[in-house]
């Protein structure tokens, strides 16, 4: 089921790209092709997580096999990259965020979550060994008042989003990975359908200029 949905999504993307290239001049198409080779393809799924045991709930390799380009810090960053710049760009470029919650959240995990919520990205929560009602920010005294306010607001927003739950002592890891992947694929299809509808409406409303 996942492979069929992913194949349909990739096929739709392919035909959309072909139509866009066809509508451009040869010079523009050549320029875009050259640029794409030089610039890293933007991520479409941002994985917001804390530690190693939560990374496995949404395996990035599983997403890549289904045609996605997920952002995962240990795979998308290299020596010399500026941490905040790379993370912020990944959040801004993505279409969907997957937030994996654990009993304790780190500064960077909360920063990513606050940015995802602030940008109004679609977020799919996965509650790993924690209930939504248990999400709270524990101020360690090192964070600024503004950071504490942002993080608390982001967690309050996340509490009211329907998500997946995973109990590491009882749950089936393959099931949660498959469920998360299916939801991501379905959400991507919905978003791209909405984008196509908006694009078609925009083209229909464009004035016709007589030459």
| The residue to which tokens 């304790």 are assigned | 104
Please, are residues 82 and 122 in contact by the beta-carbon 8 Å criterion? no
Mean pLDDT of the chain: 78
Higher pLDDT: 51 or 103? It is 103
Contacts of 31-38 with CB under 8 Å at 24 or more apart are none
Range of lowest pLDDT (2-6, 71-75, 158-162, 197-201): 2-6
Higher pLDDT, 77 or 15: 77
pLDDT recorded at residue 25? 44
What's the confidence (pLDDT) of residue 55? 53
Q: What is the pTM for the complete model shown?
A: 0.72
The pLDDT value given to residue 103? 83
Give pLDDT, residue 56: 56
Secondary structure element (H or E) that encloses residue 109, with its range:
helix 107-118
Centroid of chain to Cα 71: 7
Question: What amino acid positions are annotated as catalytic residues?
Answer: 112
Looking at residue 51, its pLDDT comes to: 56
- Per-residue CA distances from 18 to 12, 32, 66 (Å): 10, 12, 21
- Check residue 122 and give its pLDDT: 93
What is the structure's pLDDT at 26?
46
Residue 10's pLDDT band, with cuts at 50, 70 and 90, is low
Q: Find out whether 22 and 201 touch, Cβ atoms under 8 Å.
A: no
Reported CATH class of domain 42-196: alpha beta
Q: What is the pLDDT of residues 87-101, one digit of tens each?
A: 899 999 999 999 989
Predicted pLDDT of residue 115: 96
Note the pLDDT tens digit of each residue in 26-57.
444 444 443 443 345 678 899 888 655 445 55
């Amino acid at each position: 089921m996942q492979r069929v949905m992913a194949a349909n999504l990739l096929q739709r993307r392919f035909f959309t790209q072909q139509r866009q290239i066809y509508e451009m001049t040869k010079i523009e198409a050549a320029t875009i092709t050259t640029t794409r080779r030089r610039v890293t393809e933007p991520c479409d799924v941002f994985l917001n997580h804390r530690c190693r045991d939560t990374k496995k709930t949404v395996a990035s390799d599983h997403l890549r096999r289904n045609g996605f380009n997920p952002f995962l810090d240990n795979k998308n960053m290299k020596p010399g990259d500026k941490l905040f710049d790379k993370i912020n760009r990944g959040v801004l470029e993505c279409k969907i965020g997957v937030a994996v919650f654990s009993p304790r959240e780190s500064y960077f995990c909360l920063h990513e979550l606050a940015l995802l919520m602030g940008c109004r990205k679609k977020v799919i929560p996965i509650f790993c060994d924690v209930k939504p009602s248990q999400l709270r920010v524990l101020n360690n005294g090192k964070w600024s008042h503004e950071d504490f306010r942002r993080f608390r607001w982001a967690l309050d927003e996340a509490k009211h989003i329907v998500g997946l739950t995973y109990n590491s002592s009882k749950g089936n890891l393959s099931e949660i990975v498959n469920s998360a992947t299916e939801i991501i694929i379905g959400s991507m299809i919905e978003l791209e359908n909405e984008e196509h509808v908006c694009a078609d409406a925009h083209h229909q409303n464009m004035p016709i200029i007589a030459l």
